[in-house]
Amino acid sequence: MATAKSPTRSNAPSPRAPRSKKPFAGTGTLKNPMTVPNAAHKGCTTRIYRGDCRELLPEIPEVASGQLDLVFADPPFNWARDYDRHRTGGAWDDAAMSSEEYLKEFTYVWLDRCIDGLAPHGSIWVNIPDDWAAEIVVHLKERGLDMVNWCVWHYRFGQNTKGRFINSKVHALYFAKDRTNRVWNPERVLETSDRRAIYADPRTEDKKDGMPAGQRVPMDVWYGEYWGRIQGNNKERRHKHDNQLPEVYLHRVVAACSDPGMLVLDPFLGSGTTGVVAHAMGRSFIGCEYSKPNAEHAAERIALGPVRDLDAAVGGSTAIHERRRRT
């Protein structure tokens, strides 16, 4: 198992790149991708390509040669989402496919492109709703990948409905090319154990598994402070962007499943959260985005850096009950 030592943790906010009137260069084409400078992490590169990732990925050298350390994908769900919030045209049509087309001609194709680009120790995460999770799991298993976790991102403000139970989750599927030879750094994402936070149980202060006293690896249902949907007046929210993920979500994935200097790919860049986190944490990054305005706005956001102090959320408690006095 390729487990790296945990880096020194600081309470200081993640470094931001200097503000600039031109925070990125390039047009986004294969020969001239958008690039975002990274003054805080020398040697790390950030590139953004515009277009359909199914066409782009085989032409990107690191993908074609199997150098991807980590892939995180939050694809269109075929839910008729409006990805043309800037009203400039040229955005992805999220209701153009039948269910069969969405799976066979879109989903399985981009998945295969990403799988083929993984390094032997590489991992892939897919953020996907109930509609398609089972089919994606089956496909990844058929491609020979190992399922490490079927996690759930839980939030409290699902879209209101009276016709069924309200959705309050999205699946976070974690697969590795080889689970015995993957990059896995749980010590970078620990949280306070419920045994400590609620019960003050002395057994958790004398851990036998090598983890720090009172700490545990997070459970496979993810919730807590800053884990909610990015909407309303949330300070992470980007104007005219849809379906944005919280920074703490991507921090957990990037910190646990990659090392500084490694290469992270997001084939559906969207508002840019994966790029923001990877860039700030000293990873090289490749993003693909269909829409030119969305790609440009994501590049600007990556240059600014994260809104949250990414390290501050690590080590806290997600207990749902107040501390109980021992009797």
Residue 215 forms part of a structural domain: no
pLDDT confidence of residue 14: 45
| 242-245: long-range contacts, CB 8 A cutoff, minimum separation 24 | 242/81, 242/82, 242/83, 242/85, 242/270, 243/74, 243/77, 243/81, 243/270, 243/271, 244/270, 244/271, 244/273, 245/74, 245/127, 245/273
Range of the domain at 178: 34-183+220-263+276-302
Q: What is the pTM of this model?
A: 0.88
If one counts the domains in the chain, the total is 1
Residue 73 forms part of a structural domain: yes
Residue 271 forms part of a structural domain: no
pLDDT confidence of residue 78: 85
Q: Provide the residue-wise pLDDT of the chain in tens; the chain has 327 residues.
A: 444 433 333 334 444 444 556 789 999 999 999 999 999 999 999 999 999 999 999 999 999 999 999 999 999 988 656 655 656 666 656 677 899 999 999 999 999 999 999 999 999 999 999 999 999 999 999 999 999 999 999 988 777 889 999 989 999 999 999 999 999 999 999 999 888 888 888 888 887 788 889 999 999 999 988 887 766 666 666 666 667 899 999 999 999 999 999 999 999 999 999 999 999 999 999 999 999 999 999 999 999 999 989 888 788 888 888 887 664
Residue 10 forms part of a structural domain: no
Residue 97 forms part of a structural domain: yes
Query: What CATH number is given to the structural domain containing 64?
Result: 3.40.50.150
Residue 309 forms part of a structural domain: no
β partners of residue 284: 263
β partners of residue 173: 126, 150
Residue 140 forms part of a structural domain: yes
DSSP E strand boundaries for 33-84? 34-35, 46-50, 68-73
The values of phi and psi at residue 46, to 5°, are -130, 120
Residue 120 forms part of a structural domain: yes
For residues 214 and 196, the answer to whether their CB atoms sit within 8 Å is yes
